Structure 1
Amino acid sequence: MAVPSFFLLISILSALLMPLSGLQNVSSSTCMPAPPADRLPVYPSDLPRIQFALNLEHLEAAFFCYGALGHGLDVLAPELVMGGPPSIGAMKANLNPLVEDIIEQFCYQEIAHIRVITETVGPFPRPLMDLSVKNFAHITNVALGRELNPPFDPYANTVNFLIATYWLPYMGLTAYVGTDPNLLGYWSHRLVSGLLGVEAGQDAIDRGLLYQMKEEKVEPYNITVAEFTNHISILRNCLGGCGIKDEGLIVPLELGSENKTCGNILSADVNSLSYARTAAETLRVIYSTGDEHVPGGFLPKGGNGEIARSYLHHH
């Protein structure tokens, strides 16, 4: 076996000992793929498709920032609001220390997402968002097919907040998977794949935490955590209107990976690939109306941006 040279050993050792902050300044043509010679970074047709994601990113930022910190973009990054109205009903959640730490990280991740999308394709005013107990209680009642008493409160405790979180990052995940094939620019693909990776990570963390308690009852309803997720996924499939794009924590064997497991830590198709949703499907679910032309739910006055507004204008 060849023995590494003294200078190679010194270089390796120096890299291992180098502070991570110092590594940020290292640049090399081999560290990033060369852009395609015949492609633009961002094509005009990419702009509205990427910008559409701001509707979901604003929703998540408000929910996570208020949940962990008790305030949102108006305090943390007011330059990103662009004159949009404050959210309805978002508030500080009663979280255990671990989950509060995780949700605070999610909060700042979403702020970064809004910033990079805005810098790439341009901003639009933050849409009106309803993150109130009343709205979550209503959509939860619809999902479960009965009225819960007391009404479901996402901010009451850690378990409730994690179940409410189940509504959000996954929608961003499937929307990004649906958007990416329609993009032309090489930076557009890089941006959306990077956003997708973090949304998928957030969803996986949420599902992982919920999976640990899947058989536990959500008090005081005598309904298990897994049953909550299954009912939410079924409702989202119904609202989306395009078949199965959503799966809870426990599924029939025929929907499990390779048809060999009922445990479903990640929601994925028959090939264990992430499901994709179009912008119209996404709006049907986020509006909770099953119709991309009729706003409601989390966005009571509809989404902003060219795509979301076009559906409203043609109603």
Structure 2
Amino acid sequence: MQEGNKILSNKFGYRKMATPSTLCCAILLFLFPLQFMATTTPSCPGDCEPIDADDNDRFHFAQNLEFLEAEFFLHGALGKGLDAFEPELAKGGPPPIGGRRANLDYLTRRIIEEFGYQEIGHNRTGGIPRPLIDISSQNFAKLFDKAAGYNLDPPFDPYEDPIKYMLAVYAIPYVGLNGYVGTTPCLKRFSSKQLVAGLLGVEAGQDAVTREWLYKKGDEKVEPYDITVVEFTNMISGLRNELGKCGIKDEGLIVPKELGAENRTTSNVLSADPNSLSYPRTPQEILRIVYSTGNEHRPGGFFPKGANGRIAREYLYNDQLRGL
């Protein structure tokens, strides 16, 4: 790779332009006709492969992300969480850490309020206790410090204003979207596939609304930092690719042309692969990202004591945390 390309890659936060995972899947795409791809499982590195699990386990895993989204949206818009609306859905799980009402304008508050109500509905599809969730400004500050590569001064506070809150929103629903894309081919029952199709449609819509909101403000500096909205999205996406450890599956709002739709544009309102298809992620990739540790066996980040359900608990490194 030429030196100029290296600088461009670093600028946009994509530190791993090609990995065995992305290469093997790309080769399969060209070797097999599309009608055979639906029944073909790519031969990718073990830490990026789909896992063995039944449909219920997959839904239980996904509910961890639905809990996270519900609490962050409801608190951000209304200053109260799931317990104020449908407490039985938490199944006795602990309340979240640090959620509070964000300083939002009228339009943004209405959008996030709707997102929150949607997530209440999504949580009716699961069956696990709510895990301990950290949506405190301190946790987001650590995440954004890690994305930036240094400690922001003052610490990033998502509840401070609409732009910071929407950047924090950018950091959450897309991972759940990736998870549904990744789990769909593994589902066995028609009813499960039908349910995931419905969930995925709304998650994709939330992500599109969020990205479009931020795209309009792309060149604005996020006060008081000398960093634009676009630069923050590229940093967050770059960090998630790094933590996920399975190549580029996340892209900011402006990308190098070789990552844009049909390699013809740097605009990237919707994140998609070279064929404009949504990126999939496996449970282990998702845990590495939401734990913010890069290790599915080590909880942290949004889930300081780990996510719930059989899939997540089997990855935990500490036997004392495994019981539900």
Q: TM-score, normalised by structure 1?
A: 0.84
Where do 1:129-278 residues align within 5 Å?
Answer: 129-278=133-282
2:56 aligned residue (35, 39, 47): 47
> Do the aligned partners of 2:60 and 2:308 also contact (CA within 8 Å) in 1?
no
The alignment partner of 1:64 has SS state of helix
Q: Report how far residue 50 of structure 1 moved.
A: 1.4
- Runs (4+) off by over 6 Å: none
Which structure has the larger Rg over C-alpha atoms?
1
Q: Report how far residue 146 of structure 1 moved.
A: 1.2
Where do 1:67-78 residues align within 5 Å?
Answer: 67-78=76-87
Give the aligned partner of residue 294 of structure 1. Answer: 298
> Do the aligned partners of 2:298 and 2:317 also contact (CA within 8 Å) in 1?
no
CA distance in 2: counterparts of 1:46 and 1:58, whole angstroms:
19
What amino acid maps onto 1:109 in structure 2? Q
Q: Deviations over 1:59-115 (max 9, x none)?
A: 000000000010011111101011100111011000000010000000000000001
Give the aligned partner of residue 113 of structure 1. Answer: 122
Give the aligned partner of residue 91 of structure 1. Answer: 100
Give the aligned partner of residue 113 of structure 2. Answer: 104
CA distance in 1: counterparts of 2:296 and 2:197, whole angstroms:
25
The alignment partner of 1:218 has SS state of coil
Say which structure, 1 or 2, has more relative contact order (CA 8 Å, 6+ apart).
Answer: 2
Instruction: Give the unaligned 5+ runs of structure 1.
Output: 1-43
CA distance in 2: counterparts of 1:193 and 1:313, whole angstroms:
33
What amino acid maps onto 1:297 in structure 2? G
Q: Deviations over 1:195-233 (max 9, x none)?
A: 011000000000000000000000000100000000000
Q: Deviations over 1:121-162 (max 9, x none)?
A: xx1110000101111001100100111111000000000000
What amino acid maps onto 1:230 in structure 2? N
Larger deviation, residues 304-313 vs 208-217: 304-313
Give the aligned partner of residue 312 of structure 1. Answer: 316
CA distance in 2: counterparts of 1:152 and 1:263, whole angstroms:
26
Give the aligned partner of residue 66 of structure 2. Answer: 57
CA RMSD in angstroms comes to: 1.0
> Do the aligned partners of 2:170 and 2:211 also contact (CA within 8 Å) in 1?
yes
